[in-house]
Amino acid sequence: MPKKDRMSGNEAVAYAIKQVNPDVMPAFPITPSTEIPQLVSTYIANGQMDTEFIPVESEHSSMSATIGAEAAGARSLTATSSCGLALMWEELLLAASNRMPCVLALVNRTLSGPININCDHSDSMGARDTGWIQIYAEDNQEAYDNFIQAYPIAEDKNVHLPVMICQDGFITSHAVQNIELLDDDTVKDFVGTYEPEEFLLNPGKPVAVGPYSVSNYAMEAKKNQELAMENSKEVILRVAGEFERVSGRSYGFFEEYRTGDADYIMLIMGSAAGTAKQACDDLRDKGMKVGVLKLRVFRPFPAKEIAKALSGCKCVAIMDRCECYNGNGGPLSMEVCAALFKYNAGIKAVSYMYGLAGRDFTVEHVYDIFDEIDAAIKNGKEIEQYQYIGLRK
Query: Residue 384: which CATH number?
Result: 3.40.50.920
pLDDT at 2 over 90: no
Looking at the structure, do residues 365 and 239 belong to the same domain, yes or no? no
Residue 211 binned pLDDT confidence (cut-offs 50, 70, 90): confident
Q: What is the pLDDT of residue 152?
A: 98
Looking at the structure, do residues 219 and 178 belong to the same domain, yes or no? yes
End residue of a domain, out of 212, 247, 282: 247
Looking at the structure, do residues 120 and 146 belong to the same domain, yes or no? yes
Q: What is the pLDDT of residue 118?
A: 98
End residue of a domain, out of 181, 213, 247: 247
How many domains does the chain fold into?
2
Looking at the structure, do residues 279 and 237 belong to the same domain, yes or no? no
Looking at the structure, do residues 372 and 264 belong to the same domain, yes or no? yes
Looking at the structure, do residues 203 and 220 belong to the same domain, yes or no? yes
Residue 157 binned pLDDT confidence (cut-offs 50, 70, 90): very high
Residue type, 356: L
pLDDT at 380 over 90: no
Residue 393 lies in a domain: no
Residue 355 lies in a domain: yes
Looking at the structure, do residues 26 and 82 belong to the same domain, yes or no? yes
Q: 297 exposed, middle or buried (CB, 10 Å; 0-12, 13-18, 19+)?
A: buried
Residue 260 binned pLDDT confidence (cut-offs 50, 70, 90): very high
Looking at the structure, do residues 263 and 237 belong to the same domain, yes or no? no
Looking at the structure, do residues 229 and 291 belong to the same domain, yes or no? no
CATH of the domain at 171: 3.40.50.970
Looking at the structure, do residues 241 and 285 belong to the same domain, yes or no? no
Give the whole-angstrom CA distance, residue 136 versus residue 167.
6
Range of the domain at 71: 3-247
Give the whole-angstrom CA distance, residue 68 versus residue 64.
6
Give the whole-angstrom CA distance, residue 69 versus residue 65.
6
Looking at the structure, do residues 262 and 183 belong to the same domain, yes or no? no
Q: Residue 295 to residues 121, 267, 273, 344, 360: CA-CA distances in angstroms?
A: 13, 7, 9, 20, 20
Interval 210-216 mean pLDDT: 88
Interval 280-307 mean pLDDT: 98
Looking at the structure, do residues 297 and 197 belong to the same domain, yes or no? no
Residue 83 lies in a domain: yes
Q: What is the pLDDT of residue 207?
A: 87
Strands 254-257 and 290-295: antiparallel
End residue of a domain, out of 209, 228, 247: 247
